[in-house]
Amino acid sequence: MTVYGNLDIAGASAQNKTTSAGVVSADAKMRTTGNGDGGLSTSVFGLRGTEDLGGGTAAFFNLEYDLVDIGTGGNGTNTSSTVADANPSAGASSVANATAGTANQNTSYANGFGARLAFIGLSDKGLGELRLGRQAQLIHTVIANGLAGAGNNVAGSFYSAGTNSMLNSASIRPHLVFVNRAVTYFSPNMGGLVLGLQTSNQYVSPSAIASTSTNESSASLTFTGIKNLNVQAAITKVHNNTSPATGSTGTVAATVAAQTSNNVQLTALTANYNFGSVQAFGAAVRNSTSSLAGVNFAKTTTYELGARAPVTKAVTLFASAFTGNRDGSGTAATSTLTGSNAITGALGDADVSGYQLGSIYSLSKRSSLYAIYGNQAIKGKSAQSTYKTESTGMAIGVRHSF
């Protein structure tokens, strides 16, 4: 068994600004020190182990927990008291995936020692690998493959969702990162080609929340048959179905009651190539949400390019930029959707864009200093052409891995 993890503490700041008709209607500035969701990565603690069963087979497990509020001594459990969490990735509870197993809505989490990974599996050299439990979505692994910033927590990448005092009002992250009660299969490596299949079928019916079912299925393909090249593709389909429940204003029940059944399809194609002096990254992602009848609620298409370069033996620089657009020509009935599907509380067409710059100074193989700066925006079009929401973030910190 192996004990592993990392602690990432940063001094961070964020500014979220909303402009309508040329007038700033909201301008929030935030600062934090000791945020467990550090700038470069989330602080985590994990256990993993493998047992050789002989004949090329093995059993294994992985338990991993986030340390979201280590700077304030927080060690509580997940909560499901609100929706539209600013950070869909960290500590998402079962209710989160069950009530909206998409990137549209998510229950928030409190001070966390929250489960990120909790799965057990069997592997065979000739047959592949099977995993059961809470795992990373296949499409998350594919998206991370195309990010020069390695999925850090600062604004400026389409992956950024913001967290704690580093909130990001311009977040367009297309996926949840983790999925509960999943069954995942990876094929053996066939000449540099690996196939991944994943399914998750969930149902919850708490007394205060509507009965909700979520069915999620994914497939991925990874090619590493050419030296220094990694190309990955994935598709994820999610079906959410909610039986309305009654509840007071502002509660989860009231919000769930307003949801309608919908289908979500996520597709991603990413690649990175190491030229030696520089490593290039690219990602193309589409997030489509529709009704059961096929009516489009929103479709966001995003492209991100980036590069990572070792300037010296100790210093690595990275930079990235993304651009894209959203077709938000959905019906008014879907205006409760949030995040990448909302502008000022209603759907609308929009342009999305952002950029990020960062540097990492390696003190050793396990300890690093870093600085990251980024900016991203959602600019309305058509009926909401005067509206813009923008987020700027910066983090300077230290990370130690063990």
pTM of the model: 0.82
Lowest mean pLDDT among 110-114, 232-236, 375-379: 110-114
pLDDT digits (tens, 9 = 90+) for 256-309: 444 456 788 999 999 999 999 999 999 999 988 876 655 566 788 999 999 999
For the record, the structure tokens of 35 come out as 């945020």
- β-pair partners for 270: 232, 283
Q: Quick check: 201 pLDDT over 80?
A: yes
Buried b or exposed e, range 157-177, using 16+ CB within 10 angstroms: bbbbbbbbebbbbbbbbbbbb
Whole-number Å distance between alpha carbons of 237 and 322: 24
Of 95 and 48, which is predicted with more confidence? 48
Q: Where are the domains of the chain?
A: 2-401
pLDDT at 364: 96
Of 345 and 41, which is predicted with more confidence? 41
Whole-number Å distance between alpha carbons of 88 and 110: 13
- pLDDT bin (cut points 50, 70, 90) of residue 344 is very low
Domain 2-401 belongs to what architecture?
Answer: Beta Barrel (2.40)
Q: Quick check: 125 pLDDT over 90?
A: yes
Q: 360 with 383: CB under 8 angstroms? A: no
The pLDDT of 353-366, averaged and rounded, is 97
For the record, the structure tokens of 395 come out as 């983090």
- pLDDT bin (cut points 50, 70, 90) of residue 163 is low
Share of the chain above pLDDT 90, in %: 50
Highest mean pLDDT pick, 151-160, 196-205, 321-330: 151-160
Q: Quick check: 94 pLDDT over 80?
A: no
- pLDDT bin (cut points 50, 70, 90) of residue 381 is confident
Q: Name residues whose C-beta falls within 8 Å of residue 223's C-beta, 6 or more positions apart in sequence.
A: 192, 193, 229, 230, 231, 232
pLDDT at 212: 67
SS3 (DSSP) at 171:
coil
Of 60 and 380, which is predicted with more confidence? 60
- The tokens 């000022």 sit on which residue? 344
Q: Quick check: 57 pLDDT over 70?
A: yes
Whole-number Å distance between alpha carbons of 338 and 274: 37
Q: Quick check: 109 pLDDT over 70?
A: no
Alpha-carbon dihedral of residues 64, 68, 74, 78, nearest 10 degrees? -70
